[in-house]
Amino acid sequence: MTENGQRHPAIIGITGASGSVLARAAIDRLLAMGVPVIATASSAARMVWQEEMDESFGAALERWSDSEDFAYYAAADLRAPIASGTFPTLGMAIVPCSMATVAAIAHGLADNLVRRAADVCLKERRPLVLVPRETPLNAIHLENMASLARLGVTILPPEPPFYLALKTIDDIVDFVVQRVLAAMGIIGQLSPEMRYEGPSNPSGTSHA
Q: Which residues bind ligand FMN (CB under 6 A)?
A: 15-18, 42, 44-45, 47-48, 51, 98-101, 133-134
**Between 115 and 164, CB nearer to ligand FMN:** 115
- Nearest CA-CA partner of 9 in 110, 112, 81, 59: 81
- Please identify, using beta-carbon distances, which residue of 95 and 99 lies nearer to ligand FMN: 99
| CB of 51 or CB of 66, closer to ligand FMN | 51
**Distance of closest approach, residue 149 Cβ to ligand FMN, in angstroms:** 17
Question: Measured from the CB of residue 188, what is the shortest distance to ligand FMN in angstroms?
Answer: 30
**Minimum distance, C-beta of residue 144 to ligand FMN, in the bound complex (Å):** 11
Report the nearest approach of ligand FMN to the CB of residue 109 (Å): 10
Tell me, what DSSP letter sits at residue 73? E
Name the residue among 150, 78, 72 with its Cα closest to residue 111: 78
- Is 78 in a helix, a strand, or coil? coil
Phi, psi (deg, nearest 5) at residue 207: -155, 160
- Burial zone of 61 (CB within 10 Å; 0-12 exposed, 13-18 middle, 19+ buried): middle
Q: Which residue is nearest to ligand FMN (CB)?
A: 16
CA distance 183 to 14: 17
Nearer to ligand FMN, 35 or 106 (CB): 106
